[in-house]
Amino acid sequence: MDSAQAEQDAWGAMMKAVQPIEMAVQGQALHPRAGDLSYPIFQLQRCTQCKRCTEECPFGSLDEDEKGTPKLNVYRCRRCGICMGACPERIVSFKNYSIDIIASMIKSIEVPEEDEEKPRVLILACENDAYPALDALGQRRLQYDLSVRIIPVRCLRSMNIVWIADALARGFDGVLLLGCKFGEDYQCHFVKGSELAKKRLENVAETLQRLQLETERLRLVEMPINEWGTLPAVIDNFVQKVREIGPNPYKGL
Ligand code: SF4
Ligand code: SF4
């Protein structure tokens, strides 16, 4: 990096830092992209104290009582929804973001019949990097396969496995998950959200095998925002793979 680039980079870093500093002064956490300002709601009557939500919360926002029941600390919570995706009892939700809301969105998507020979592919895209990358394609009028239908999610780890199971049971031919880059140079806004989603997918692959569905019908791709130009090829390659596999046998059942 030369001195002009370094100056530009430093300006960018400073602008990014302004918002968290202002919020920290007020004693609050920052969530720049979520329009929903509600905090997670726990229906604790059905809580089994399994502690998955407290273990997966990247910000240590969930304390526990002596029995292991989660207790939310709102000043640490960044409303990422990872606790919602982690809870096996599905008892965590937000006012404007819940398992039922996304499930209803998936149900409202039209799925062509097998004899129409048109695949239908669901994309669940993290709203932080993958969805803006899709926006960038739209602004430049770049095209990708028309079979896809896109639903933004707050973080890929806020995804509940039931969404994938429902989509495949309804005859979707494939599900593509677009999350942030993880690992050493991670870009995930919630530190390890997309990495946790990938780990969770290993269990889903087993479920697909039990249903005798090809595991290739499901793919997770890390989508760094600066690599948005590669996205049409990522989507087209996945849809092409789904076409080669053939229609989902659960279509029309
Ligand atoms: S929404 Fe995110 S930060 Fe808040 S408690 Fe749940 S996992 Fe933790
Ligand atoms: S993941 Fe769900 S069931 Fe488990 S402790 Fe948290 S709220 Fe309770």
What are the tens digits of pLDDT across the range 69-101? Answer: 999 998 888 888 999 999 999 999 998 889 999
Q: Which pLDDT band holds residue 32 (cuts at 50, 70, 90)? A: very low
Q: Edge-to-edge strands of the sheet including 174-179?
A: 148-153, 121-126, 174-179, 218-222
Q: If pLDDT is split at 50, 70 and 90, which confidence band does 30 have?
A: low
Residue 203: its pLDDT value, please?
74
Contacts of 239 (CB under 8 A, 6+ apart): 119, 121, 145, 147, 148, 174
Domain extents in the chain: 3-93, 99-245
What DSSP letter does each residue of 176-199 carry, written as one string?
EEEE---STT---TTSSHHHHHHH
CATH number 3.40.50 given to 99-245:
yes
Residue nearest to atom 2 of ligand 2 (CA): 87
Q: Which CATH architecture has domain 3-93?
A: 2-Layer Sandwich (3.30)
Ligand 2, atom 8: closest residue by C-alpha: 47
- How far does the centroid of ligand 1 lie from the alpha carbon of residue 53, in Å? 8
Residue nearest to atom 4 of ligand 2 (CA): 50
Span from the CA of 87 to the centroid of ligand 2 (angstroms): 5
| Ligand whose nearest atom lies closest to the CA of 60 | 1
Q: How far apart are CA 166 and CA 233, in angstroms?
A: 27
Reported as a pLDDT band with limits 50, 70 and 90, residue 245 is very high
pTM: 0.81
Please indicate whether residue 40, judged by its CB atom, sits closer than 6 Å to ligand 1.
yes
CA dihedral 86, 34, 222, 184 (to 10 degrees): -80
In 225-235, which positions are buried (b, 16+ CB within 10 angstroms) versus exposed (e)?
eeebeebeebb
Query: What is the whole-number distance in angstroms between the Cα of residue 83 and the centre of ligand 1?
Result: 6
91 lines ligand 2 (CB under 6 A): yes
Provide the token pair at 201.
């997918």
Q: Angle of helix 161-169 relative to helix 193-210, nearest 10 degrees?
A: 40
Evaluate: CB of 72 within 6 angstroms of ligand 2.
no
- Residue nearest atom 3 in ligand 1 by C-alpha distance: 77
Structure tokens at 85: 């995706």
| Joined tokens for residue 148 | 């896809």
**Mean pLDDT for the chain overall:** 84
